[in-house]
Chain A
Amino acid sequence: MHFKWKRLGENALFLSPSIILTAALGIYPLLWMLRYMFYDYAGYGDPLFVGLDNFRLLMRDGLFWESVGNTFIYAGGKLLLTLPLSLLLAVILNSKLRGGNLLRGIYFMPTIISTAVISVVFYNIFNSYNGMVNTVLMKLHLISQPIDWLGPKYAMLTVIIVAVWGAVGNYMLLFLAGLQSIPQDLYESAAIDGANAARRFWSITLPMLAPVAQMVIMLAIIASLKGYESIMLITEGGPIGKTEVMYLYLYKLLFPVSTGSPVEQQLGYGSAVGFATAVIVGAITGLYFLLSRKMNKLY
C-alpha cells in the first residue's frame, strides 16, 4: 500500500480530532509538568525558578521514599494474590461448567462497581468497632479481642485484600479471552496421547497463554503500582503512613486534603514527584518487558 498524496486532506481531517485531543489533554499537561518541576509554585503568584531544588528535596524526602517502599509491598502483595487467583478462576470457568456465564458476571462485577462504594463497604466490613469480620470471628470464638484491621499492623494487608477483590474479576476475564483462543484440538490430541489434566495445563495451556499473560501481567503491574483510590478512601494513607503509596503521596501534594486550617498546594514539587513516580513505574515496566521477552516466543 503506498501513500496517496491525493487523500492527504481527508487523512488529516480524520486524524485531526485525536491529534488535537492528545495534544490538548495529553501532551500539553505533560509539558506543563515538565516545566513546573523546576519551579516553586503554589498555584498563585509568579512561579519561582529553583533549578534542581525540587529534585534535591525529593532525594532527602523520607516520606516519599517510604511511600515508594509501601507501593512495592502493596503492588507485590496484590500481584501475588491476584494473578494466580484470576488464572485459576479463568481455567475453572473455561471448562464447561453449569452456570459458568453467571459466575463470570459475578466475578467481573467488582470491576464495574465504583471504588467509592467498594471502599465504604469494605470499611464497614473491616472496621474494628462494629465491622463484620470481627463480629463473625468473635461469634465463632476464634478471637477474644477485636482485631484492628485498619490499625498500623494490618492496614496494608486489608487494603491489599480490597484491591485483590476488586481486580481478580478483571484479569480473570482477560485470561479467559486468552484461554478461549487456544485451539481445542491440541487438548484433544494430547488427551488421546494420554496426557492428564495437569499435564495438559502445564504443557499446553500455560505456553499457549504466555503472550496474553505477558500483556495481562504488564497491565496488572502498572495498575497495582498506580492504584491508590481505595486506599485514599479507606485509610487515607494512614495510620501513620503505613498505607501511603506513591500516587497517593503525589495526589496529596497536588490536591491537599484540608478542612479548617489551610494546606498549600505544591505544584512545583508535586510535578517533580510526578516525574519521579512516572520514571519508577516506567523503569519497572521496562524491566518486566526485558525479563519476560521470552514469553512471546514460547511456541
Chain B
Amino acid sequence: MRKKWSSLVLCLLLIAAIAAGCSGNGNNNGNGAAANGNSEGSTATSSTETGTPVQLKYWTDDRHDQEYIKELINKFNETNEDNIQVELTVMSENYTQSVDIAFSSNQAPDVLRLKSANTAGFVKKGYLAPIDEYLTDDLKAKFGNLLIDDVNRFEGKVYSLANTGLTLRLVYNKDLFAKAGIENPPVSLQEMVDAAKQITEVGKAEGIYGFALNFKNPKQAFDRSIREILSLSGYQGLGFDLKTGQFDFAPYSQVVEYFKQMYNDGSILPGAEALDIDPLRAQFAAGKIGMYLSFSTEPGVYQDQFPTEINWGGALAPTLDGQIKGTSEIVSAGTWLGISAQSANKEAAWKFMQYMYGDEVLKTYHEKGFGIAIVPSIVEQAKDPEIGGMEGFLVGEHDSLWPASPNVTPEGSTYADAFFKYILEGGDVKAITDDLNTRYNAALSKAVEKGEVTVTPNPAFDPAKPQGE
C-alpha cells in the first residue's frame, strides 16, 4: 500500500514539474523576446512614484543610439506632468519575430521603433494604431512633405513620422586614388570602371583591389549600390518604373554591364562573392579596397567598429553617363516611432512620441551623428555632426525621398541573383532582362489582384523631383 502511495506521489510531482516547465515555456513566448533584448540592451526606468504611474513599454532594435535614448527617456520620466513612466527595451537580432510573438501573446509594447523594412508588414498585421487624430496643424506643417504612401501612410492613415534617413554614397580611399594618380572620385560609371582598374594595377602586388561589394548576399550588395546609381541617373533604384507602374530592368542591366566589366578586368577584390559587409569594411579599413558603395552608417562604423588610419571620404554615386538626371534616394526614411494598436494607453504613448519628436531631440539626434536629419525645419537648425567622414553623407541638393516601389516576390530567382550570375558567368543580358520583366510584372499583377499592392502609374513623374514639389 505504501508503495502505491509513494508511486502516486511521484507521479504527481512529475506532473507538477512538467506543468511548471510548460507554463514557464508559455511565458517565454512573450518574455523570451524581452529577455533577448535585455541581454543585449538595458532597461531604463525612473522612480518618481506619485500615485499609480501609467507604464509604457518602448521597444527598439537600434543599439547605436541606446545611451542617448536612455538619457532622453529618463528625462521624460522625471519631467512629464502626466505621471507616465516609459520602460525601454533594446532588442538584438530578430526584432520583427520578437514583435510578432509579443503581439500574438498580447504582450505588445505600447510604442515601437519602426523601420521602412518592417512598417508595411506591421500595418498589414494590424499591429499599429493610426496617429492622424493627434496630428496638429503645426505637426502637419513640420512633417507634411514627409508623409509618403506605403512608407508611413497606408490607405490614407498615418502611422509614423520621419526623423532621419540614410543617404548612400560612394565610399573611397583617397590615398589609393592619389597613388593611382586619380584626382577625383568617379562621376560616371565608365570613370568608376577605369579608376578600379588603375587602382588594381598599382596595388595588386600588395593585395589591393579597386572595387568590392558584399556579394555574399547579392541583393544587399546591389540595393546599396545600383539602387543609388540608378536614382541619381534618373531611374527608380529597384527596377520599378514609376511612370508606367511596371517593372523594367533595362536601366538596371546597363549598370550591371559596368559591374561585369570590373569583374572581367579583375578589379574586384577576389573572394567578394562570399564577402559580408563587415569583413568588407575590415578590408577597406586596412586599405585593401579602393571604393565601394554604402549607407551613411559608414562614418560611425569607421569611428567605432573599425577605427582606421586611412584617409577616406564619401562622394555622390557615379551615374550612367556622368549626368545627374535624378536625385540620390534617401532610404530607411519616413518612419521612426509608432503606437501599438493593442496599447491601453494610446494617449500617453502619443505624449511620449510628441516628446521624442520635439525639435530639440531631433536636432541633437542629428548632431550626435545617430542619423541624418531629413525633417526640413531640423535640417535648417541642426549643426553638422562631429564624426569624421560624415560631411560626405549629409543631405544636400541632390538627395530626396522617393515614392515607395511595390514589394513583390517573383517566381524563380530575384533580380539580384539573376544579374549577379550574369556578372560571374555571362550570358544574354537582354534575355535575362526580359525574363526578369516578365516574372516581376506577373508577380505584380498577382499581388494587385490579391489586393496586397496598389499601383498608380505617374506618367508625369520627374526623377529630379520625386516628391513632386
- Give, as a whole number of angstroms, the nearest-CB distance from A69 to chain B: 15
Interface centre among B220, B269, B288 (most CB of A within 10 A): B220
Once the chains are docked, how many angstroms separate the CA of A240 from the CA of B215? 10
Q: State whether the Cβ of B183 lies closer than 8 Å to any Cβ in chain A.
A: no
Q: State whether the Cβ of A95 lies closer than 8 Å to any Cβ in chain B.
A: no
Closest to A17 in B: B18
Q: Do residues B118 and A13 form an inter-chain contact, with CB atoms below 8 A?
A: no
Closest to A24 in B: B22
Once the chains are docked, how many angstroms separate the CA of A235 from the CA of B269? 16
Q: Do residues B273 and A152 form an inter-chain contact, with CB atoms below 8 A?
A: yes
- The interface bits of chain A over 34-72 (1 if a CB of B lies within 8 angstroms of the residue's CB, else 0) are 000000000111001000000001001111000000000
Q: A44-B124, A264-B407 are in contact. List 7 more A-B contacts (CB 8 A).
A: A10-B8, A10-B11, A43-B100, A129-B270, A148-B271, A150-B271, A260-B220
B residues 197-223 near A (Cβ < 8 Å) are: 207, 215-220, 223
Once the chains are docked, how many angstroms separate the CA of A276 from the CA of B41? 41
Q: Do residues B124 and A241 form an inter-chain contact, with CB atoms below 8 A?
A: no
Q: State whether the Cβ of A130 lies closer than 8 Å to any Cβ in chain B.
A: yes
- The interface bits of chain B over 276-311 (1 if a CB of A lies within 8 angstroms of the residue's CB, else 0) are 000100010000100000000000000000000000
Q: Do residues A123 and B8 form an inter-chain contact, with CB atoms below 8 A?
A: no
Q: State whether the Cβ of B455 lies closer than 8 Å to any Cβ in chain A.
A: no
Q: Do residues A240 and B409 form an inter-chain contact, with CB atoms below 8 A?
A: no
B residues 14-52 near A (Cβ < 8 Å) are: 14-15, 18, 22
- Give, as a whole number of angstroms, the nearest-CB distance from B436 to chain A: 14
- Give, as a whole number of angstroms, the nearest-CB distance from A40 to chain B: 8
* Given A45-B124, A259-B117, A259-B220: A240 touches B274 (CB 8 Å cut-off): no
Give the chain B neighbours of A239 by CB distance below 8 A: 215-216, 273-274, 420, 424
Give the chain A neighbours of B332 by CB distance below 8 A: 260
Number of interface residues of B (CB under 8 A): 47
State the A residues within 8 Å of B (CB). Answer: 10, 13-14, 16-17, 20, 43-45, 48, 57, 60-63, 123, 127-131, 146, 148-152, 155, 234-236, 238-241, 257-264, 266
Q: Do residues A127 and B15 form an inter-chain contact, with CB atoms below 8 A?
A: no
Q: Do residues A234 and B424 form an inter-chain contact, with CB atoms below 8 A?
A: no
- Give, as a whole number of angstroms, the nearest-CB distance from A32 to chain B: 14
Once the chains are docked, how many angstroms separate the CA of A57 from the CA of B126? 30
Sorted nearest first, the 9 A-B pairs with minimum C-beta distance are A128-B271, A150-B274, A239-B273, A44-B125, A13-B11, A240-B421, A17-B18, A128-B270, A262-B117
Closest to A13 in B: B11
Q: Do residues A148 and B14 form an inter-chain contact, with CB atoms below 8 A?
A: no
Q: Do residues B274 and A260 form an inter-chain contact, with CB atoms below 8 A?
A: no
Closest to A16 in B: B15
State the main secondary structure of chain A at its contact with B: loop
Q: Do residues B271 and A241 form an inter-chain contact, with CB atoms below 8 A?
A: no
Give the chain A neighbours of B279 by CB distance below 8 A: 123, 127
Q: State whether the Cβ of B468 lies closer than 8 Å to any Cβ in chain A.
A: no
Q: Do residues B14 and A17 form an inter-chain contact, with CB atoms below 8 A?
A: yes
B residues 80-121 near A (Cβ < 8 Å) are: 100, 117-118, 120-121
Give the chain A neighbours of B424 by CB distance below 8 A: 152, 239-240
Q: State whether the Cβ of B155 lies closer than 8 Å to any Cβ in chain A.
A: no
Once the chains are docked, how many angstroms separate the CA of A130 from the CA of B209? 13
- Give, as a whole number of angstroms, the nearest-CB distance from A124 to chain B: 9
Q: State whether the Cβ of B450 lies closer than 8 Å to any Cβ in chain A.
A: yes
Q: State whether the Cβ of B397 lies closer than 8 Å to any Cβ in chain A.
A: no
Q: State whether the Cβ of B391 lies closer than 8 Å to any Cβ in chain A.
A: no
Closest to B408 in A: A264
Give the chain B neighbours of A128 by CB distance below 8 A: 270-271
- Give, as a whole number of angstroms, the nearest-CB distance from B94 to chain A: 9
Give the chain B neighbours of A130 by CB distance below 8 A: 207, 283
Stretch in B242-250, B373-381, B411-419 touching the partner? B411-419
Once the chains are docked, how many angstroms separate the CA of A150 from the CA of B121? 35
Q: State whether the Cβ of B366 lies closer than 8 Å to any Cβ in chain A.
A: no
Once the chains are docked, how many angstroms separate the CA of A148 from the CA of B271? 6
Q: State whether the Cβ of B7 lies closer than 8 Å to any Cβ in chain A.
A: yes
Closest to A263 in B: B409
Give the chain A neighbours of B288 by CB distance below 8 A: 129
